[in-house]
Structure 1
């Protein structure tokens, strides 16, 4: 993986066209790169989930990538 930590989230149908991309900062905040068809409520819900779980998610991320959080240099 060559990008910093990020999360893809999709609509209920799990379609590519519904996929949003959130870059994750080291405090759990996110930078939304692509929202696609997700509405504001869905975006907020996903951001809240990431904020609550980003440290655990990062442990898994670091198994596959040497890249760190958004805005961090390794």
Structure 2
């Protein structure tokens, strides 16, 4: 499963799975190294870098806030990685 970054953000890996590429761009955030959708938070990314959380998984409010800010600052860089695997664009486009 592709990770956006090899390092953790708010103690979570940001990644997507092979099943994800049929949806709009998003990132899963998970604290464990299994990188499975089950138990992970899900952040759909809009064209302006804002994100919509549709599942919080086991993340707390602070972790979600930190990840949303991280995505906002790096969403174009993340989109480059996403577009290597998917033709689907940003959320709500």
What band does the TM-score fall into relative to the shorter chain? 0.7 to 0.9
TM-score by length of 2: 0.70
Pairing partner for 1:23 from 44, 53, 69: 44
Q: How many pairs align?
A: 71
Greater per-residue helix proportion: 1
TM-score by length of 1: 0.87
Matches of 1:39 and 1:54 in 2, distance apart? 22
Long gaps (5+) in structure 2: 1-20
Instruction: Determine helix, strand or coil for the equivalent of 1:31.
Output: strand
What's the RMSD between the two structures over aligned residues?
1.3
Bigger radius of gyration among the two: 1
